[in-house]
Amino acid sequence: MTRFTLVFTLLVVLSVPAFSQEEKDEGVQITVYNNDLAVVKDRRKMEIPEGVGKVEFTDVATR
């Protein structure tokens, strides 16, 4: 699978939830640049309790 195909697939998969979002404070934004580079912004509301806590983001792609 080429990088272009991977970026295109991510673009399609991640844009579908953005169209179904009702809240304007949340959503997915994708910016595709040259040289196989893309930036994905995923904004979500989270309930974080007071005090010290831990938030983990799994399955995040690395280059």
Q: Which DSSP letter does residue 1 get?
A: -
Number of H helices, E strands in the chain: 1, 2
What does the pLDDT read at residue 31? 92
**Which residues fall within 8 angstroms of residue 3, CB to CB, at 6 or more apart?**
36
Q: What is the pTM of this model?
A: 0.39
Q: Where are the beta strands (DSSP E) in the chain?
A: 27-33, 37-43
Q: What is the pLDDT along the chain (63 residues), one digit of tens a residue?
A: 587 788 888 777 777 665 555 555 678 888 999 988 888 888 888 888 899 888 888 887 776
Residue 54's CB is within 10 A of a number of other CB atoms, namely 4
pLDDT computed for residue 21 by the predictor: 52
- Quick check: 21 and 27 in contact, CB under 8 A? yes
pLDDT at 47: 84
